[in-house]
Amino acid sequence: MSYTIQGRTGDWELVVGLEVHAQVISKAKLFSGAATAFGADPNSQVSYVDAAFPGMLPVVNRFCVEQAVRTGLGLAAHINPVSRFDRKNYFYADLPQGYQISQFDHPIVGTGTIEIELADGSTRQIGVTRLHLEQDAGKSIHDQHPTKSLIDLNRAGVALMEIVSEPDIRSPEEAGAYLRKLRSILRYLGTCDGNMEEGSMRADVNVSVRKHGEPYRTRCEVKNVNSVRFVMQAIEAEAMRQVEIWESGGTVEQETRLFDPGRGETRSMRSKEDAHDYRYFPDPDLPPLVLDEAWIETLRANLPELPDAKKARFMREYGLSPYDAGVLVAEQATAQFYETVARGRDAKIAANWVTGDFFAALNRTGRSIEDPPVTATALGQLLDLMADGTINGRIAKDVFEAMVDTGKAPAAIVEEKGLRQVTDTGAIEAAVDAILAANAGKVAEYRGGKDKLFGFFVGQTMKAMAGKGNPALINETLKRKLAG
Ligand code: MN
């Protein structure tokens, strides 16, 4: 089902392209040896190059180049063997050079694709136009002093990958799916941590609207949106604004806007510059970046298994639904956790436990998959106790809760609390007899045709056995006695 915006003059189609700035995971900056750790004291990670002292020369960081190439390979993109660094000239107080070193018409990575999955289970290919390397700027701080703005250059010169999509996105949901998928791929590759709160991934959102079948109309860019949810909200707000302008006879002007999450609206920041305003020209301090084909192939051969391939394998090897497989592969650590639990066990039961009780426990305890409240090994042991009949499924839920609370092994909890499943037919018969005797009226109703009461007898018997009865034996015994 396609997404449309209903206006007074009929339906409008949404057209969105995303430009994502992703901070490269690297200990040093793109053109200097200064550190990049988040949260350091202001201006403590600034080299003379970053501060643009006269005569300082940039030297490209090979590792950052490698990270960009690996990202390009992970996006199934064309790697350009020759690319170039250019100066993008503009003045800002947190940009001491007076220009940003970026890549203009010869980016390091060309066209690629990202496959997105939507809630209805369908998939779409979103085109990636390019990926280029560039420097981040410093940070201006306006709220620490009553009359002065402060500058922190720690971030100045940190390597960014700007990943530009084609205007292929047609709904807020698709934009969200694109960002989540891109973040997942970057995290698998270890090229960006995808942490939007710390600003290591930020999105510029290009939005326009048109009537179906029309060429593109003027777009506006909503700058620096820092969460998936805000991106989706910004798109909706901006699209509505544009529809209202067009429908009231006005014209949308190309401009850069900001999203205000508090008010749920975008507002104008500045009229949009064109590329020529920046006077791009090749940086004379940096030679063209020439990549060795054999080196690119080595990087390609050493890529990890990425989310799409892993999802396909989980569906094939473990018989999982596309949905379950998608949830389990979103994070590499989750996929690894699942595989440890599933190996040599019933893979679907393992998936249900990981995405059900285990995810709920992560939420409740506020812990992460890297530091889980129950290890994959321990969860596997719990599944084994169910598989060999030591405990039933109902008791397993209680044992799992006790594992979360105490950190003890499942077998120890079962012994300590006496939770072994009762499979002794004598004990089950005695419990069933007692329940039937105590509920003679209901037995008569059941025998008179009220089949639904069967569940009541099962529940009562299980309760009388403190949840430890073997469900299959209880069912069988009840059926036999109620028939007689
Ligand atoms: Mn940029």
Q: What's the CA-to-centroid distance between 175 and ligand 1, angstroms?
A: 19
Q: What's the CA-to-centroid distance between 60 and ligand 1, angstroms?
A: 18
Q: What's the CA-to-centroid distance between 252 and ligand 1, angstroms?
A: 24
Nearest-angstrom CA–CA distance, 304 and 84? 28
- Flag whether pLDDT at 415 surpasses 90: yes
Q: What's the CA-to-centroid distance between 117 and ligand 1, angstroms?
A: 27
329 and 268, same domain (yes or no): no
* pLDDT tens, residue by residue, 17-50: 999 999 999 999 999 999 999 889 999 999 999 9
Q: What's the pLDDT at 121? A: 84
- Locate 193 and state its tokens: 């941590």
Q: What's the CA-to-centroid distance between 16 and ligand 1, angstroms?
A: 17
Give the CA count within 13 Å in the CB-facing half-sphere of 237: 20
- Binning pLDDT at 50, 70 and 90, where does residue 298 land? very high
- Flag whether pLDDT at 93 surpasses 60: yes
Q: What's the pLDDT at 374? A: 97
Q: What's the CA-to-centroid distance between 122 and ligand 1, angstroms?
A: 31
Q: What's the CA-to-centroid distance between 100 and ligand 1, angstroms?
A: 9
Q: What's the pLDDT at 120? A: 87
Q: What's the CA-to-centroid distance between 447 and ligand 1, angstroms?
A: 76
74 and 145, same domain (yes or no): yes
Degrees to nearest 5, angle at CA 326 with 323 and 332: 155
Q: What's the CA-to-centroid distance between 224 and ligand 1, angstroms?
A: 10
The answer to whether 183 touches 191, Cβ cutoff 8 Å, is: no
Q: What's the CA-to-centroid distance between 103 and ligand 1, angstroms?
A: 9
Range of 116-120, 193-197, 372-376 with top mean pLDDT: 372-376
Average pLDDT over residues 274-284: 89
Q: What's the CA-to-centroid distance between 304 and ligand 1, angstroms?
A: 27
- Flag whether pLDDT at 1 surpasses 60: no
- The CATH number linked to 459 is 1.10.10.410
By C-alpha distance, which of 339, 312, 341, 316 is closest to 326? 312
The answer to whether 101 touches 87, Cβ cutoff 8 Å, is: yes
* pLDDT tens, residue by residue, 165-224: 999 999 999 999 999 999 999 999 999 999 998 889 999 999 999 999 999 999 999 999
Q: What's the pLDDT at 270? A: 78
From 17-26, 42-51, 311-320, 465-474, the region with the lowest mean pLDDT? 465-474
Average pLDDT over residues 288-312: 98
Q: What's the CA-to-centroid distance between 105 and ligand 1, angstroms?
A: 13
Residue that is last in its domain, among 393, 417, 441: 417
Q: What's the CA-to-centroid distance between 437 and ligand 1, angstroms?
A: 78
More confident residue, 112 or 120: 112
- Flag whether pLDDT at 369 surpasses 80: yes
Q: What's the CA-to-centroid distance between 90 and ligand 1, angstroms?
A: 13
State how many domains the chain has.
3
Q: What's the CA-to-centroid distance between 74 and ligand 1, angstroms?
A: 20
Q: What's the CA-to-centroid distance between 361 and ligand 1, angstroms?
A: 40
Q: What's the pLDDT at 271? A: 77
Q: What's the CA-to-centroid distance between 282 and ligand 1, angstroms?
A: 16
159 and 271, same domain (yes or no): yes
Burial class (CB in 10 A: 0-12, 13-18, 19+), 401: middle
Q: What's the CA-to-centroid distance between 289 and ligand 1, angstroms?
A: 19
Average pLDDT over residues 390-405: 95
Q: What's the CA-to-centroid distance between 99 and ligand 1, angstroms?
A: 12
Q: What's the CA-to-centroid distance between 102 and ligand 1, angstroms?
A: 8
Q: What's the CA-to-centroid distance between 443 and ligand 1, angstroms?
A: 75
- Binning pLDDT at 50, 70 and 90, where does residue 373 land? very high
469 and 380, same domain (yes or no): no
Q: Which residue has the tokens 């609390």?
A: 417
Note the helical H segments in 155-306.
Answer: 172-189, 228-247, 293-301
192 and 68, same domain (yes or no): yes
- Binning pLDDT at 50, 70 and 90, where does residue 277 land? confident
- Flag whether pLDDT at 484 surpasses 90: no
Note the helical H segments in 26-115.
Answer: 62-74
Ramachandran category for residue 10: left, alpha or beta (phi over 0 → left; psi -120 to 50 → alpha): left
142 and 70, same domain (yes or no): yes
- Binning pLDDT at 50, 70 and 90, where does residue 299 land? very high
Q: What's the CA-to-centroid distance between 225 and ligand 1, angstroms?
A: 13
By C-alpha distance, which of 221, 233, 235 is closest to 271? 221
Run of H or E including 49:
none
Structural domain range at position 350: 305-417
DSSP 275: G
Q: What's the pLDDT at 269? A: 86
353 and 450, same domain (yes or no): no
247 and 388, same domain (yes or no): no
Q: What's the pLDDT at 274? A: 75
CB under 8 Å to 418, separation ≥6 — which residues?
none
* pLDDT tens, residue by residue, 223-260: 999 999 999 999 999 999 999 999 999 999 999 999 99
Q: What's the CA-to-centroid distance between 162 and ligand 1, angstroms?
A: 6
Residue that is last in its domain, among 298, 317, 333: 298
166 and 238, same domain (yes or no): yes
The answer to whether 183 touches 194, Cβ cutoff 8 Å, is: yes
* pLDDT tens, residue by residue, 416-445: 999 998 888 999 999 999 999 999 999 999
290 and 310, same domain (yes or no): no
- Locate 431 and state its tokens: 């419990």
Ramachandran category for residue 417: left, alpha or beta (phi over 0 → left; psi -120 to 50 → alpha): alpha
Nearest-angstrom CA–CA distance, 255 and 133? 24
Q: What's the pLDDT at 181? A: 97
The answer to whether 14 touches 3, Cβ cutoff 8 Å, is: yes
Average pLDDT over residues 347-376: 97
The total number of residues shown for the chain amounts to 484
Find how far residue 218's CA is from the centre of its chain: 31
460 and 413, same domain (yes or no): no
Positive or negative CA dihedral for 152, 156, 160, 162? positive
Residue that is last in its domain, among 417, 451, 471: 417
The answer to whether 221 touches 18, Cβ cutoff 8 Å, is: no
- Flag whether pLDDT at 163 surpasses 60: yes
190 and 69, same domain (yes or no): yes
What percent of the chain has a predicted confidence (pLDDT) above 70?
A: 99
pTM assigned to the model: 0.89
